[in-house]
Structures are given as structure tokens and as C-alpha cells.
Amino acid sequence: MTTRPYADPLAEAELLDPPGGQQLRLRFRGSVQDPDIPWDACIEALPEGQANFYEIGAAGEHGTRLVIGLKAERIELPLVRMAILMIRQYKRLAPGRREFG
């Protein structure tokens, strides 16, 4: 029996900023209350002492607005991959701001 390997989330995402900065804007598909929606996202590097968070906003021209704040010095590709997977797998996503971890 042959199994299909999982696709790399970065291969499916459209990066709008280069990695290595304090934030990275991107677009990718995922789900929340609809089975498959486009996310218009921004991942932000947070200093120590601030809590990780996600904030789901309103739908816009390029998708539903999503801001993810993660404790990191800068936003590199492994962190982007982890953030996409986290959003795709998190079962209790809800509009508004939620802190985690």
C-alpha cells in the first residue's frame, strides 16, 4: 500500500515578505468555521514576556485576516511552517484574540 506524503505547508503558501524580519505576511488556505478558507495572515515576532497569541479578524479582499504573535527573535521559515500547521490543526479556532502557550 502506497501512502501519499504530506505536502509541505510552505509549498502551498504565498509569502508576501522575505523571512528573517520581525514580521512576515503570507496567504494560505485552512479552516475555521468553513471547511476551507483563505487566510490573509501576518506572523509577528514577540519579545520575551509577551504571550503567544492569534487574532482572527474579518474577511477581506484576500481572505480572513489572521495575526499570529510568537515569541521569537525573527520570523524564519521553520517558524512559518509551524504556524501554518498549528492553525490548520487547532480545533477550537474562534474569531477574536486568544493567547496560548
Note the pLDDT tens digit of each residue in 34-44: 668 899 999 99
> Which tens digits make up the pLDDT trace of 45-92?
999 999 999 999 999 999 999 999 999 999 999 999 999 999 988 878
Q: Rounded to an integer, what distance in angstroms lies between the CA atom of residue 91 and that of residue 66? A: 16
Q: What is the pLDDT of residue 33?
A: 62
- The answer to whether the CB of 63 falls within 8 A of the CB of 27 is yes
Look at residue 91 in the predicted model and tell me its pLDDT. 79
CA 44, 88, 80, 29 torsion: positive or negative?
A: negative
Cell of 65: 485576516
Q: Residue 98, Cα to own-chain centre: how many angstroms?
A: 14
Q: Which three cell numbers stand for residue 38?
A: 483563505
Q: Is the model's pLDDT at 13 over the cut of 90?
A: yes
Is the predicted pLDDT of residue 29 greater than 80, yes or no? yes
Q: Which residues pair with 49 in a beta bridge?
A: none
pLDDT of residue 87: 92
Q: CB–CB of 54/97 below 8 Å?
A: yes
pTM over 0.75: yes
Query: What is the pLDDT, as a whole number, of residue 3?
Result: 47
